[in-house]
Structure 1
Amino acid sequence: MAAPPSASKRADSLTRSERKDLTRASLLQAALALIGEGRSFTSLGIREIAREAGMVPNAFYRHFRNTDDLGLALVEEMGITLRRLLREARQVGVAPNAMVRRSVQVYYEYVQQNRLQFLFISSERSGGSRILRLAIRTEVSHFINEMAQDFRRLGIYPDMSTSSLQMVCGLIVTTMLAAAPEILDLPPEQALLEAEMKDNFVQQLQVVLLGAGCWKEKRVIQSTAATGL
């Protein structure tokens, strides 16, 4: 049997576009690796990111204008992938309770498998660069809008106004974001704690959905008009 090609030969066989994508991915992973060492994203410099990726600083500028540009790529890539996975979990013909539990499982696994990305998001969502904070808010809006669209498609809360439906979906997304640090802090190989956390997560979302089902928009409007608030 012939010996497998060396790494250099495999690299030589890549197209220019593939090599460019590989270099870009290396820079993204280098930034995440530094974050994994306890660094804040805003403290990272271009030179050290390039050094961590094993390349010269000039290579950085072939892919990103600055560190904020790299951060935007991290936000976008995570958002696109997770939104796709959650939309796949919300399929037609699945009971709402089963859909909630499946969505929780998908989200839980994604957080566990992408620990560094969520450390980055958790840090930048409440501090750091204003550009990245706004980008994360935009991604959150995408999650909310796509969930609201799927609820309409699935006939969930068919009589609810668009603004109220988006409010409900916003509460769900906020609950999911709040659960990420707890998932990341869970000790490894703790099956019982993991099961309890997932059940609690599911119950939190079910409470939101149950409350949404009891929401009476007209009654709220009448009450507001009567009290003058």
Structure 2
Amino acid sequence: MSHTSEASGPTAPEQPRPGGTRQAQKEQSRRALLDAGLRLLEHQNLSSLGVRELTREAGLSPAGFYRHFRDLDELGVVLVAESLASLHLMIRRILAEQGEPSELIDRTIAVIARHVREHRPHMRFLARERHGGVQPVREAIAAELAAFTSETAAALGALPDGAGWSEPELRMLAGLYVEHLVATAAAFLEAPTGSRAAERRIAALARDQLRLISIGRRHWLADRPAQD
């Protein structure tokens, strides 16, 4: 005797909704374009990159590019946001550090070096395009670094030794720290891959530069120039 009840068979797996599948495919294509851009921009500037070259690297058609970005400038601005999101986390981590000044300096340099190793394509993109030929990307990088400087200034002002500093002075000090961070990251990027000796030289110079900034910071209030 045969049994034909629907309950006797295994339950069919629930099929993904078509809308969800399309969205996932769209995100996958967008990610492929961004990743392809990072790979190609390891060796060239954004201003020299073409849509056909990018889509060929991503395995997509040129028409597919325009479903995600208006132009390559917009793709570059998105890469800036991605790159500086990770840099933002690094800055917050450094600002949260506590301990003796010499220990903090050592930890800061170690964090920068590790960040460059873990995010090399993004950091190289920032270093290359910060003064590159694509104005919207330059402006996006400048705006993000200015925001980081403001955040750093607020964090410095909240510290006990920030008492007595004016807002412009805190921004000036924060700017020194942010510029030092960016310059140190760029130096690590330019070091020969795997050269421990080069990394040690860069780290030693970066430590001395931070010590110099820290010494000036400790003496600034006592020796600041008179205000007109």
Change (3 A) 1:40 1:207: same
- Mapped partners of 2:181, 2:33: distance in 1: 28
CA distance in 2, matches of 1:96, 1:151: 14
Q: What do the CA deviations read for 1:65-121 (whole angstroms, capped 9, x no partner)? A: 110100001111111111112212322643443333222222212222333323322
Match of 1:121 in 2: 126
Deviation at 1:188, TM superposition (A): 2.8
Q: Tell me, in whole angstroms, the C-alpha distance in 2 between the residues paired with 1:142 and 1:188.
A: 31
Of the three residues 124, 138, 142, the one matched with 1:133 is: 138
| Cα RMSD, aligned residues only | 2.3
**Structure 2 CA distance, aligned partners of 1:155 and 1:18?**
49
Identity %: 32
1:152 pairs with 2:157 = yes
Partner Cα separation in structure 2 for residue 153 and residue 19 of structure 1: 46
Which consecutive aligned stretches of 4+ in structure 1 deviate over 6 angstroms post-superposition?
Answer: none
| Change in CA separation of 1:61 and 1:84 when aligned onto 2, cut-off 3 Å | same
How many Å separate the matches in 2 of 1:58 and 1:167?
A: 46
- When normalised by structure 1's length, the TM-score is 0.81
Aligned to 1:81: 86
Q: Which residue of 1 aligns with 2:115?
A: 110
TM-score normalized by the length of structure 2:
0.82
Picking from 2, 19, 37, the partner of 2:25 is 19
Per the alignment, residue 13 of structure 2 pairs with none
**Aligned equivalents of 1:18, 1:146: Cα separation in 2:** 35
Q: 2:74 aligns with which of 69, 78, 82?
A: 69
Does the CA contact (< 8 Å) of 1:157 and 1:213 recur in 2? no
Per the alignment, residue 6 of structure 1 pairs with: none
User: Is the 1:85–1:106 contact (alpha carbons within 8 Å) kept by the matching residues of 2?
Assistant: yes
Asked if the contact 2:157–2:165 (Cα under 8 Å) also holds between the matched residues in 1, the reply is no
Count of matched residue positions in the alignment of Structure 1 and Structure 2: 210
User: How far apart are the structure 2 equivalents of 1:209 and 1:21?
Assistant: 45
* Preserved contact between residue 111 and residue 118 of structure 1 (Cα < 8 Å): yes
Tell me the distance in 1 between the aligned counterparts of 2:167 and 2:50.
Answer: 43
Task: Kindly name which structure, 1 or 2, has the bigger radius of gyration based on alpha carbons.
Answer: 2
Contact 2:98–2:104 (8 Å) recurs in 1? no
The runs of 5 or more residues in structure 2 that have no matched partner are: 1-17
Q: In 2, distance between residues paired with 1:149 and 1:101? A: 23
